[in-house]
Amino acid sequence: MNLTNYIRERLQQKQILLMTHVVVGYPSLDDNWTMLEMMQQSGVDLVELQMPFTEPSADGPLFVKANQQALKNGIRRDDYFEFMRKATAAFDFKILMMGYYNPVFVMGHHEFCRELHKNESCGFILPDLPVEEFGDLFEYSRQYELSPILVCAPTNTPERLRQVLAHGSGFLYCAARKGVTGTKTTLDQSQDGFISRCREISDLPLALGFGLSEAADIQQLHGKVEIAIVGSALLHSWQENGPQGYQHHLAGLAESCA
């Protein structure tokens, strides 16, 4: 089943889907596995597995620290793909690679797509790669049945938005605001206008991320987008309140999707 069909099938049972985030190797691979088990128990629909990188330019301070510490912990490319392989075999939710373009460039587009396909990822998110620089990454994605998830922002001009969304696949990642992840976003009519502009251009499911943190945020998105994305807020819960606090936070987010 392709990613778009998976999303639409899940939406037959929920008001909105939940996508969460794990930085592979932080705090540790064992902790990552516990997080994924809790996500499965809570009914999370999609998970971004972030490949650690030295300069995660779209991420805020918490994820920057997590990326740097994961690399200090010794996580390398092979460790990342091995973890992905185990996770896709063990859990029901769809898994996306999230990361930055430099490691993809080093691997080569063909090898990157082949490795994702081999380890049963459904696609990837590369927020620092402009759509005009994808080149044959689109071709190899089609060859290996992967969805390149493109990121659009409310600051995009109408022309730029059409250019980005024309290449969309799976779903479209709508950033709720400009800037980096991790800062609380106040949801208001500005996001509604942005979402409406995206709807006019593409019929793909829409996901909203960047700064969502609470069940109330997700409830505000019912009937507006198909997917709510929560990342930094959950990792903050793990750091502040441990696994029990993380599980409580996750359960509340999942309940708000029903």
| Strand-strand pairing, 46-50 and 151-152 | unpaired
In 61-204, alpha helices (H): 61-72, 77-90, 101-107, 109-118, 137-143, 158-165, 189-201
Q: What angle do CA 124, 129, 132 make, to 5 degrees?
A: 110
Q: How many CB atoms lie within 10 A of CB 60?
A: 17
Q: Are 176 and 212 in contact (CB under 8 A)?
A: yes
Q: Catalytic one among 45, 59, 217, 226?
A: 59
Residue 138, exposed/middle/buried by CB under 10 A (0-12, 13-18, 19+)? middle
Q: Catalytic one among 48, 115, 217, 226?
A: 48
Q: Are 94 and 45 in contact (CB under 8 A)?
A: yes
Residue 64 C-alpha from the chain's centroid: 16
30 is known as an active-site residue = no
Closest CA relative to residue 43, chosen from 90, 10, 83, 12: 10
- Read off the DSSP letter of residue 136: T
Q: Are 133 and 163 in contact (CB under 8 A)?
A: no
Q: For residues 4 and 6, give the distance between their C-alpha atoms in angstroms, rounded to a whole number.
A: 5
Q: Are 206 and 226 in contact (CB under 8 A)?
A: yes
45 is known as an active-site residue = no
Q: Which residues are catalytic?
A: 48, 59
